[in-house]
Amino acid sequence: MVNSKTNRGLTNSMLGGCIGRKVSTVLLVIILTGCTSLPNPERPPENFRSILPSRVRVLPRSGDVLLDGQRVGSLYDSGLDKARFEISKMEDFKNIHGYSITKVKSGHYLIAGGTGYGPIIQDSSWLYDPATAKLTRGPKLCIPRSDHAGIGLEDGSVLLIGGQTFKPMSKTVKYPQVEMAEIYNPKTNKFMPAANLLDANDADIGSVTLMTDGCVLLICAHSGGAELYDPKKNCFVYAGQMNEIRGGHRGFALRDGRALIYGGTVEPHFWDGWTANPVHLDSAEMYQGR
């Protein structure tokens, strides 16, 4: 199997038989998604630049993250943390993990997917009202998914990206990565399919960040590869390659169109499962924007 991160091109011997089909596919993608900028087959590392540790400071009590003395965000979200704690105690979620919790503009929290008994990956969703501490069943997802990411978009909808699903009849991978993203529309109370990730490996989400232009920057925890989702064009484009692979990090959008990527952990054995003693990072990188 060809590694899509290290060899994305076609060799000359393959080109003759495939170029017509490849061009047709690309044109079809442009027509269907409205994405007029073709994805770059490479991930230019210069899109991410390491910055001096002295430029970043985290205030211990508030969790505020300072860049050159200016606050860019916080490691904590008291509202989300409280909702996550209350939801975890509910009977419906005592034996489910891997779901996403995303705040919508109404003040409710959208709970989507997760892994339950079996383990069975869920396609269900719920809306949690923190004012009344009540759950309302929501619509079904387009595809069952777990360990994915959810993020609110500027128009009030919620984007679900990545994770894994379950294919019991598969003879190869029963828990494949989810390439297709989907969007929850609170006005219609429905999920709709969105664009596919350019690289299925990027479904191992490390962080998602809503940029100032309304696009979403996602970074893979296992490879450090990055993609950018444009909700207006409904397409992903490659956004570069981080200098240091990190999982569980945080991203903070800056007003000038860049993003600060801070912290996270390094796992010595990524592909052998999580280790008990991860190496915590206090370093940071800067996504330069597009």
What confidence score (pLDDT) does residue 230 get?
Answer: 97
Structure-token pair, residue 283 = 């370093």
* Tally of residues, the chain: 290
| pLDDT of 28 higher than 50 | no
Residue 276 to residue 279: CA distance in whole angstroms:
10
Residue 208 to residue 124: CA distance in whole angstroms:
22
Q: Is residue 285 included in any domain, yes or no?
A: yes
187 and 137 assigned to the same domain: yes
Question: Looking at the 3D structure of the chain, how many domains does it have?
Answer: 2
Higher pLDDT, 26 or 84: 84
Strands (E), 143-234: 149-152, 158-161, 180-185, 190-196, 205-210, 216-220, 225-230
Q: Are 259 and 252 in contact (CB under 8 A)?
A: yes
Domain boundary among 154, 170, 196: 196
Residue 211: what residue type? M
Domain boundary among 166, 196, 226: 196
What confidence score (pLDDT) does residue 22 get?
Answer: 37
Q: Is residue 21 included in any domain, yes or no?
A: no
Tens digit of each residue's pLDDT (9 = 90 or more) over 52-94: 989 999 999 999 999 999 999 999 999 999 999 999 999 888 8
Q: Is residue 8 included in any domain, yes or no?
A: no
| Domain of residue 251, residue span | 33-76+201-290
What confidence score (pLDDT) does residue 281 get?
Answer: 84
Tens digit of each residue's pLDDT (9 = 90 or more) over 260-276: 999 988 765 444 444 55
91 and 189 assigned to the same domain: yes
Give the chain's mean pLDDT: 82
Domain boundary among 149, 179, 196: 196
CB atoms within 10 A of CB 78: 9
42 and 61 assigned to the same domain: yes
68 and 210 assigned to the same domain: yes
pTM, 2 dp: 0.81
